[in-house]
């Protein structure tokens, strides 16, 4: 067996792509390793949404280069958004780099890597792939690592939020064929998957690129009926694209988790307009109220940016007040940083770094309070928890997630130890909150599952 080390940066889409890369390489005799020094192929699956991605990739490649003198067969590859953005230029600039590919080439990774070794060439392939089957291609060797799996339903984004690089690197929206999605869902369930997360940059716009495709809500209903599937969820959604039929799904579909990641980004209407987000603060508040009316236990999460160009103290205060009022159960917050090539890159980045940090800290204090409050609200309840595997705390406990997507570290009484395994749904008494998760005690299996 040859060994591949994949370093994954960024979002769940990249985590999913890394799984597809590994699956696509298995027929070539590759298996995964976590050690750079024993790898025959090292792939950086990159993200250019935040930070200084190109600089990070270059310095990481610089650190990896000496490994090539120890193992002359070692190949280095850069995939993902940085690969797509810089393509051939990366290959020209970094002589020890062997392969650059974009997100659209993930389905063809086996062919590309075979050419590296067989033809002894260096390759940059980053063009937008026109063949839908190739874009979404998955190997029969799909890597199933537990009871939960991602399932890509579309790629790209047409929204062009002014700060976001995604439409520039992942291209326009392309929906996957629904039959292909359903067949893949069934195959994953047949291999032991119990929970599916439907993935896309803005899943709510599924089907809009091609007449005749189901809407996202219709697709959710179809996947929900896959026999053997116990749970269903999705990411990510632009709050500007949440029609009534999607909200109705939360009323009708019991397998749909009570969890919705709904990025607000800013609490100020002026900043939302400058971000080209296409909804107002009031519309977002109304959407949250509708969702909570349908599922009062709904765990809402969000993304927020502070220090967007021109953001005044008063506009920032509106983001703080949104956090105080909406009480998200979890949130990702960031200080704005320029992404070259986006519309916002033409605006003066005029909030000083120290001020951005001050705003970020002030916001995170409130978000931490809300997180803690959400965790505490679970204490004393009896939750249904899908067991995923060993707890990351390494204390011999199991880990799983509630139907509202809270992580639970699970103590299993001795008499139940033989009965409870990953993939099972367990009744759990929630005992106390931890920093970002819950502690619970297993009471028994739910409905004999
Ligand atoms: S909806 Fe906006 S933030 Fe989300 S991927 Fe598209 S452009 Fe980026």
Higher pLDDT, 119 or 166: 166
Residue ranges of alpha helices (H) inside 158-207 are 166-170, 178-190
Long-range contacts from 208-211, C-beta under 8 angstroms, 24+ separation:
208/173, 208/175, 209/154, 209/172, 209/173, 209/174, 209/175, 210/175
Tens-digit pLDDT profile for residues 310-329: 999 999 999 999 999 999 99
Distance CA 34, CA 358 (A): 37
* 285-319 tens-digit pLDDT: 999 999 999 999 999 999 999 999 999 999 999 99
Mutation test of ligand 1: which of 47, 174, 202 has the most ligand atoms closer than 8 Å to its C-beta? 202
Task: State the pLDDT at residue 437.
Answer: 95
402 within ligand 1 shell (Cβ under 6 A): no
The pair of structure tokens assigned to 97 is 């780099």
Strands (E), 39-93: 41-46, 75-79
Residue 187 has pLDDT above 60, yes or no: yes
Q: What is the pTM of this model?
A: 0.90
Gap from CA of 448 to ligand 1 centroid (Å): 42
Indicate if ligand 1 lies below 6 Å from the C-beta of 167.
yes
State which ligand 1 atom lies nearest to the alpha carbon of 160: 7
Average pLDDT over residues 404-409: 96
Verify whether ligand 1 is closer than 6 Å to residue 171 (CB atom): no
161 lines ligand 1 (CB under 6 A): yes
The residue ranking higher by pLDDT, 40 or 141, is 40
For residue 60, the SS3 value is: helix
Q: Return the best residue to mutate from 155, 166, 266, 279 for the ligand 1 pocket (most ligand atoms within 8 A of CB).
A: 166
CA of 170 to the centre of ligand 1 (A): 11
pLDDT, tens digit (0-9, with 9 covering 90-100), for 140-165: 556 677 899 999 999 999 999 999 98
Identify the pLDDT of residue 447: 67
* Pocket of ligand 1 contains residue 49 by CB under 6 Å: no
- For the segment 339-345, the average pLDDT, to the nearest whole number, is 92
Query: Domains of the chain (ranges plus CATH)?
Result: 2-127 (3.40.50.12160), 382-445 (2.40.50.140)
Report the pLDDT averaged over residues 164-172. 89
The number of the ligand 1 atom at minimal distance from the alpha carbon of 157 is 6
The H-or-E segment that residue 13 falls in is helix 12-25
Confidence of residue 439 (pLDDT cuts 50, 70, 90): very high
Say what the pLDDT of residue 415 is: 87
Cα 202 to averaged position of ligand 1 atoms, centre (Å):
7
Whats the size of the chain, residue-wise?
Answer: 449
Preceding amide of 432 cis, omega within 30: no
- pLDDT for position 39: 96
Q: Check if 157 has its Cβ closer than 6 Å to any atom of ligand 1.
A: yes
Is residue 268 within 8 Å of residue 310, measured between CB atoms?
Answer: no
Taking the centre of ligand 1 as the mean of its atom positions, its distance from the CA of residue 237, in whole angstroms, is 9
Does the pLDDT at position 448 exceed 70? no
Is residue 27 helix, strand or coil? Answer: helix
What is the CA(359)–ligand 1 centre distance, in A? Answer: 23
Q: Is the pLDDT of residue 55 over 90?
A: no
Tell me the pLDDT band of 48, cut-offs 50, 70 and 90.
confident
**Residue 139: per-residue pLDDT:** 66
């Amino acid at each position: 067996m040859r060994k591949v080390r994949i370093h994954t940066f960024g979002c769940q889409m990249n985590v999913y792509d890394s799984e597809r890369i590994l699956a696509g390489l298995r027929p070539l005799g590759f298996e995964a390793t976590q050690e750079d020094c024993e790898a025959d192929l090292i792939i950086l699956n990159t993200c250019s949404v935040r930070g200084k991605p190109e600089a990070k990739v270059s310095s990481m490649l610089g650190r990896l280069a000496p490994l090539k003198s120890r193992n002359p067969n070692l190949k280095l590859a850069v995939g993902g958004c940085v690969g797509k953005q810089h393509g051939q230029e990366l290959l020209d600039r970094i002589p020890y780099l062997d392969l650059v590919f974009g997100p659209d080439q993930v389905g063809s990774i086996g062919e590309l890597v075979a050419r590296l070794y067989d033809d002894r060439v260096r390759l940059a392939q980053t063009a937008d792939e026109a063949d839908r089957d190739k874009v979404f291609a998955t190997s029969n060797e799909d890597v199933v690592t537990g009871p939960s799996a991602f399932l890509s339903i579309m790629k790209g984004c047409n929204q062009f939020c002014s700060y976001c690089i995604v439409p520039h690197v992942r291209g326009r929206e392309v929906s996957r064929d629904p039959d292909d999605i359903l067949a893949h869902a069934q195959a994953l369930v047949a291999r032991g998957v119990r929970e599916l997360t439907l993935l896309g940059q803005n899943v709510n716009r599924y089907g809009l690129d091609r007449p005749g495709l189901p809407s996202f809500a219709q697709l959710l209903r179809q996947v929900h009926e896959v026999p053997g599937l116990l749970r269903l969820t999705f990411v990510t959604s632009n709050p500007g694209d949440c029609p009534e039929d999607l909200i109705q799904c939360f009323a009708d579909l019991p397998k749909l988790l009570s969890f919705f990641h709904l990025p607000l980004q800013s609490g100020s209407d002026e900043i939302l307009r400058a971000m080209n987000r296409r909804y107002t603060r009031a519309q977002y508040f109304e959407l949250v109220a509708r969702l909570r009316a349908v599922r009062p236990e709904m765990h809402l999460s969000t993304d927020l940016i502070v220090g967007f160009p021109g953001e005044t103290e008063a506009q920032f205060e509106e983001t703080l007040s949104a956090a105080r009022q909406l009480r998200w159960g979890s949130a990702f917050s960031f200080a704005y940083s320029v992404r070259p090539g986006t519309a916002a890159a033409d605006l003066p980045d005029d909030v000083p770094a120290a001020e951005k940090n001050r705003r970020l800290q002030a916001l995170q204090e409130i978000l931490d309070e809300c997180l803690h409050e959400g965790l505490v609200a679970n204490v004393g309840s009896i939750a249904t928890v899908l067991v995923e595997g060993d707890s990351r705390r390494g204390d011999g406990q199991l880990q799983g997630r509630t139907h509202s997507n809270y992580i639970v570290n699970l103590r299993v009484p001795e008499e139940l130890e033989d009965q409870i395994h990953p993939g099972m749904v367990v009744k759990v008494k929630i005992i106390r909150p931890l920093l970002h998760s819950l502690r619970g005690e297993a009471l028994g299996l739910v409905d004999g599952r």
